[in-house]
Chains A and B, each alone.
Chain A
Amino acid sequence: MIDDFPLFPESASTVSGSVDALYFFLIAVCGAVSLAVVVLIIFFAIKYRRTASNQIPEHYEEHKALEIGWIIAPLFPMMIMFLWGAKVYFTIARPPDNALEVYATGRQWMWKFQHVGGQSEINELHVPVNRAVKVIAASEDVIHDFYVPAFRVKTDVLPNRYSTTWFQATKIGRYHLFCAEYCGTQHSGMIGWVTVMEPAAYQQWLAGGVNEGSPAAIGKSLFEKYACNTCHNAQSGARGPALDGAFGKPVSLRGGAVVRRDENYLRESILNPQAKIVEGYEPIMPTFKGQVNEAELIQLISYIKSLGAPVGAGGPATPDKGSGVSAAPGASAQPGSAASPSLPAVQPGVAPGPDGRGAAAGAEPSASGSAVREAKQP
């Protein structure tokens, strides 16, 4: 029974330690101050209790220095809390470049996870230990929230846009996944498990089970089915911008703005093409809203992400990484092939640091249309 009475959550990610340390710091500081105040109150309450019904307390002058003092003094621990908290927040907000990507779709009242190798799962997410995993999530209906307490990470999952969060699991085990934004009737039933496995076990898992085909490969056939390639090709005079190597790079729009072509940009361009027109092109792309569903969006976006490396980039032969570098078109994992998405736990030259970030530091937090991301070096 005591086993079933935890008082503190498991710490299972590279960031959970930092969050817990911050928590203990706050408990210590706030606890100490609160205790001091309470002790003082109780002490005064006893010492200065009324001794006679006509007792009148002595008058004393107010103490401006004391007032200023206790306004200024709390600012110091508060600044530490603020800066430390911001630092941890930045860490959680910036997935490392070499993170393994997983697409998550939340809808009333279940989670669907799509791995880049084609494996998909419902309410379960299998990940390898000691590997950064980036979750790219969108909702099909209302706002949900992807929350894994053991990893100390959480992000709201919104309709019509992608949110990302990431974690690097450090302990084998099974951890709760909760939806943490009220979403209707079965909100408390929109739960699941994140299973963290040894690399070998993970490979085995990838090989077996449900595999719909890698999203990028399916995306390629969709790209042809919806005739995207009739406009988006590399021929001169093409009606639409070429998409080889486009993902992650900035582009100039009509009207002067420059945006980064991330997942949200691609999504918007498919569903609402008139919103952002690339400079030098006409607003003639039809909308695919109503024709393309969430799953297909993920597939098309995966395909576009896998397109076109700048020549000579080389790099680790792990075509499932969605960082826009290294995988040549079509080199994405074929459906069912377990061997190609090989994932050595440590990338040569890109050893994940203690907070999971790769050697290619300096990646900006991924947000639609934000600053330019540095090109990653192998």
Chain B
Amino acid sequence: MSDVPHGHHPALKHHFEDLGQQHEASTLGMWVFLTTEIMFFGPLFFAYALYRSEYAEAFAEASHHQNWKLGVTNTAVLIFSSLTVAMSVYFAQKNRRKALVVALALTLVLGIAFLGIKAIEYHEHFEEGLFPGSHFTYQSPLAPRVQMFFVLYFVMTGLHAVHMIVGIGIFTWLLIRARRGEFSLEYYGPVEVSGLYWHFVDIVWIFLFPLLYLVGRH
């Protein structure tokens, strides 16, 4: 069946009537998926809120051990990457293949930079004896609750980092397809829905940053 000449766009999947229906389905699909992601991160934010209200002093103390400069940098990196993502959707719609490729490549670079900075931070925490478990050597009267903060910190930012890695994978694949000229005004759905995903991961970070880095700071 696939060698029969098609009278339609090569990207149209056969169970859809037309590209319009396909586009609507994939966009709705991504929004629905992002709702599940909210429910995935949600319990962690809930646990954070619960323990922060109970152990406010310990959480403030723990947060002061965060490298806020790196945190701010990472926030800026991600916000800027959301800009390049939005631009790539625009360029895809405008059939500007070269600009699209550049925008996607920039997004990738920024995403990787984010992970690199995160790795540096994790390393610092490890060196300072703040990694939960047998490596936790931090001393203070509030040490047990400080450890709780860092459990939440590593789980939440770790989960976020996993999502970043998946995002980088998706955008690599998009870059390859973009270079092949697969996207146009007629068909830019994958760029748009991948962009939605990236924006979501960015927004999660925008919530994580103040909660984890700026507790009790003036």
Most chain B CB within a 10 A radius of its CB, from A255, A272, A275, A283: A275
Residues of B contacting A255 in the complex (Cβ-Cβ under 8 angstroms): 56
Q: Judge whether B159 is part of the interface by a CB distance below 8 angstroms.
A: no
Q: Write out, one digit per residue, whether chain A residues 302-337 have a CB within 8 A of any chain B CB (1) or not (0).
A: 000000000000000000000000000000000000
Contact for A283 among B55, B141, B144, CB less than 8 A: B141
Identify the closest chain A residue to B54 (Cβ): A275
Q: In the bound complex, what is the Cα–Cα distance between A251 and B55 (angstroms)?
A: 19
Contacts of B55 in A (CB 8 A): 275
Give the residues from 110 to 145 in chain B that come closer than 8 angstroms, CB to CB, to chain A: 141-142, 144
Per-residue CB proximity of A268-282 to B under 8 Å, as 1/0? 000010110000000
Instruction: Give A163-214 interface residues, CB cut-off 8 Å to B.
Output: none
CB distance from B106 to the nearest CB of A (A): 47
- Interface core residue of B55, B56, B141, B142 (most chain A CB under 10 Å): B141
Residues of B contacting A272 in the complex (Cβ-Cβ under 8 angstroms): 144
Count of residues in B whose CB is under 8 Å from the partner chain: 6
Number of A-B residue pairs, CB cutoff 8 Å, is 7
Which chain A residue has the least Cβ–Cβ distance from B56? A255
Min C-beta distance of B55 to chain A, whole Å: 8
CB 8 Å contact bits of A229-272 with B (1 = contact, 0 = none):
00000000000000000000000000100000000000000001
On chain A, the residues within 8 Å of B57 by CB distance are 274
Q: Please give me the residue from chain A that is nearest to B58 by CB atom.
A: A274
Within 8 A of A (CB), among B140-168: 141-142, 144
B64 vs chain A, min Cβ distance (A): 17
Which residue on B lies nearest to A283, using beta carbons? B141
In the complex the two chains form, what is the Cα distance from A275 to B55 in whole Å? 7
Which B residues touch A274, using CB under 8 A? 57, 141-142
- In angstroms, Cα B144 to Cα A255, docked, is 20
Assembly CA distance A274 to B142 (angstroms): 7
Distance in angstroms from B57 CB to nearest chain A CB is: 8
State in angstroms the CA–CA spacing of A134 and B141 once bound together: 35
A275 to B59, CA, bound (A): 12
Residues of A within 8 A of B142 (CB): 274
Return B141 CB to nearest CB of chain A, in Å.
Answer: 5
Complex: A98 Cα to B56 Cα, angstroms: 37
Closest to B55 in A: A275
Per-residue interface assignment for chain B, residues 44 to 60, with 1 indicating a CB less than 8 Å from any chain A CB and 0 otherwise: 00000000000111000
A282 to chain B, nearest CB (A): 11
Residues of B within 8 A of A283 (CB): 141
B165 to chain A, nearest CB (A): 37
Report B14-45 CB contacts with A as 1/0, cut-off 8 Å.
00000000000000000000000000000000
Q: Which residue of B lies closest to A285 (CB)?
A: B141
Residues of A within 8 A of B56 (CB): 255
A182 nearest CB across to chain B (Å): 23
Contacts of B144 in A (CB 8 A): 272
Shortest Cβ distance from B89 into chain A, in angstroms? Answer: 47
Per the bound structure, the CA–CA distance linking A344 and B194 in Å amounts to 77
When chains A and B are docked, how far (Å) is the Cα of A173 from the Cα of B190?
A: 74
Q: Determine how close the nearest CB of chain A comes to the CB of B146; give it in whole angstroms.
A: 11
CA gap between A275 and B58 in the complex, in Å:
9
- Taking the closest CB of chain B, its distance from the CB of A55, in whole angstroms, is 39
CA–CA, A255 to B55, complex, Å? 12
Measured in the bound complex, the distance between the Cα atoms of B56 and A275 in whole Å is 10
Instruction: Report the separation of the CA atoms of residues A255 and B53 in the bound assembly, to the nearest whole angstrom.
Output: 12
Nearest B residue to A274, CB-CB? B141
B53 to chain A, nearest CB (A): 11
Most buried by B among A255, A272, A274, A283: A274
Residue of B nearest to A273 (CB): B141
For residue B142, give the distance in angstroms from its CB to the closest CB of chain A.
6
Contacts of B141 in A (CB 8 A): 274, 283
Bound together, the chains give a CA A272 to CA B141 distance in angstroms of 9
Closest to A272 in B: B144
Tell me the complex Cα distance, A274–B54, Å: 12
Mark each residue of chain A from 282 to 298: 1 if its CB lies under 8 Å from any CB of chain B, else 0.
Answer: 01000000000000000
Please, could you name 7 A-B residue pairs with CB atoms under 8 Å apart, sorted by A? A255-B56, A272-B144, A274-B57, A274-B141, A274-B142, A275-B55, A283-B141
**Interface residues, chain B, with chain A CB atoms under 8 Å away:** 55-57, 141-142, 144
List the 3 closest pairs (A to B, CB-CB), nearest first. A274-B141, A274-B142, A283-B141
